[in-house]
Amino acid sequence: MSNDRNPPEQSTLIVSSVDPTGGNSGQRARLISVAGPELGRQFLLDQETVIGRSPDCHIQLAAAGVSRQHCVIRAINSGFEVEDLGSTNHTRINDQVVERQVLADGDRIRLGRSVLKFVAADSPDAAFHDDLAAAPRFDQSTGLYSVTYLQEQLGDALQEASSSPEPSSGGVLVITLDKTAELREQIGIAGTSRLLGQIAARLTTRLGERDIAARYSEFSLVVLVSGTTDQTLDQLAETLCELIAGSAYELGQREIGVSASIGICAFDLRINDPETMLIGAVRAAEKARSDGGRRCLVYRPRVSGDAPDQDERALLGLLQAALQRNSIQVLFQPAVSIADSDTAHYQLLPRLLTDDDQLIPAARFVPLAERHDKIRELDLWMSVRATKVLDEQLGQGRQLRLFVSQSSASLPDRVRFETLAGRLKPAAREQRLLVFEFARDDVLAHLKTARQLLPRLRELGLGVSISGISDQARPVDLLSHVPADYFKLAPDFARRMIGNQELTEIFNALVAQAHKGEAQVIVPMVENAETMSRLWTSKADLLQGNFIQQPMQTPDFSL
């Protein structure tokens, strides 16, 4: 269905707090934003309500992944139904994709990164949301902060945690009472508010001065823990869970005991928005409660190697965590020398390890690192790793040459290369056994800086390789500007020239130009026997590709 829909003329009342003069609002169905930029806002529903990113919609949502006209909610005889309007990212009810579905009280409608909770006109939660909307910063019945305020503080805490060089010990705890249906029947809404207030008072004795407790829903609290000292976040949650279950609560003439389930979401570099943390902790709490209650469950973000369209923020967080924890995986792909050589050649390839133990290739996260100013940090990490590997292998009497790719962001980083060269053994510098590879386009785009750095690298005893050479980008174009020890063909040129006489002649001319400048030529992407046999008799110097050998995590350098 097309989403080019004109909204109905009748206007829907959209409020950030329920308007007490808005037609007896407590008796009207509404949507509550429980995740997204509009967190905490309430939207009263009319006969037909169009929701989307467009300002023409009755309810406009600013979250990522929301289509211009995403869905419509209509009043029907039995209540309300939602219909997707051909949105790009679909409409989900309780995490299930739907085209059209009747809404039940408490249903969660996910539109992109926004989540709206449907509250029916006769819902037991309606009065609670009326009270909450009357004082947006504080929950009147408990005196706790509202979740809107907590989310603001959580955003600041997330930013602080992501910028800190040390892992944070804090996070979010969502505390949900067990057996809510029985509690509502026994003590009612007013009693529930007093109960949560008493629970919060007990919890504060175990929380830090900077921790913030807020009311999240009728039966749940959320706690922002800035950091723990004497115990982990998991241990704190277990302590609070037992504290709640081990206490008695006075409600009028009655004294009752309750238990709670706690969802835990620690600060994690793979999470950089408050909504994801809150939703993750809520889901963990709900799962703990459905598993029997009085228990704690941790939400951990997962990055899968099978998802080509992985959330960019999750992938960036995975990279940041790997850099911080020194856990980037490195593969070694050999390059075979056509001439007899006692030196083994290896290219170092960075990989990220996912939660399902798969390796994400550099092509998926290097562009992300460039966009978010993490590429220099990645370059540094790889160059330091190469230096250590080379030093270890030379110490064991093994002769090998390592190639490490570097970005244009490292071209001005002269001091770093000088420092690395100073750590190498004299034998490594004499033979330039550590080679830094730069893309041809980067060199030409930053030619002045490259002309300052690349000759200096060779003076320091470091090798220089330039990749991306093809019939359109020849070595002679670069040798007049910068020196190089190696030229690597562009992968597409290496594939195209096989069986093409004209390109083969161009290739032979490229090799001659490189050799005249005392540089060697590397041919990548050797993927089959035919390519291997043709190139073996060519004038290339090094061949590289999966047909020769696939990248390895633990190569036997002794071979």
The pTM (predicted TM-score) of the whole model is: 0.60
What DSSP element (H or E) covers 168?
none
In this structure, are strands 30-35 and 114-119 parallel, antiparallel, or unpaired? antiparallel
Distance CA 67, CA 59 (A): 12
Lowest mean pLDDT among 6-15, 276-285, 304-313, 520-529: 6-15
Q: Which long-range contacts (CB under 8 A, 24 or more apart) does 75-79 make?
A: 75/45, 75/46, 75/47, 75/48, 76/102, 78/102, 79/29, 79/103, 79/120
Strand extents, DSSP E, 88-211: 91-93, 96-98, 100-102, 108-111, 114-119, 145-146, 171-177
Q: β-pairing, 542-544 with 520-523?
A: parallel
Residues of the chain above pLDDT 90, percent: 32
Give the best-scoring range by mean pLDDT among 17-26, 149-158, 215-224. 215-224
Interhelix angle 233-245/180-203, nearest 10 degrees: 120
pLDDT at 406: 97
Give the pair of three-digit tokens for residue 16.
């950030």
- Across the chain, mean pLDDT equals 82
Backbone dihedral region for residue 40 (phi beyond 0: left; psi -120 to 50: alpha; all else: beta) = left
What's the average model confidence in pLDDT over 164-184? 82
Q: What is the 3-state secondary structure (H, E, C) of 429-491?
A: HHCCCEEEEEEHHHHHHCHHHHHHHHHHHHHCCCEEEEEEEECCECHHHHHCCCCCCEEEECH
What is the rounded average pLDDT of the residues 113-142? 71
pLDDT at 556 over 90: no
Separation CA 303–CA 122 (nearest Å): 41
Whether pLDDT at 305 is above 50: yes
Question: Cα(368)–Cα(34) distance, rounded to whole angstroms?
Answer: 29
Break the chain down into helix, strand, coil percent, rounded to 5.
35, 25, 40
Rg (CA), the chain: 31
C-alpha span between 37 and 293 (Å, rounded): 31
Neighbouring-strand partners of residue 82: 73, 101
The answer, yes or no, to whether residue 325 has pLDDT greater than 70, is yes
Predicted confidence (pLDDT) per residue in 383-418, tens digit: 999 999 999 998 888 889 999 999 999 999 999 999
Q: What CA–CA distance (Å, rounded) separates 310 from 316?
A: 10
Give the distance from CA 324 to its chain's centroid: 14
CB-CB contact of 539 with 511 (8 Å): yes
What is the arithmetic mean of pLDDT over 359-367? 90
Range of 21-30, 415-424, 474-483, 493-502 with top mean pLDDT: 415-424
Domains of the chain and CATH, by start: 30-133 (2.60.200.20), 147-298 (3.30.70.270), 316-544 (3.20.20.450)
The DSSP bridge partners found for residue 76 are 79
Phi and psi at residue 187, in whole multiples of 5°? -120, -10
Burial zone of 50 (CB within 10 Å; 0-12 exposed, 13-18 middle, 19+ buried): buried
Residue 453 has pLDDT above 70, yes or no: yes
d(CA 269, CA 365): 15
Residues in the chain: 559
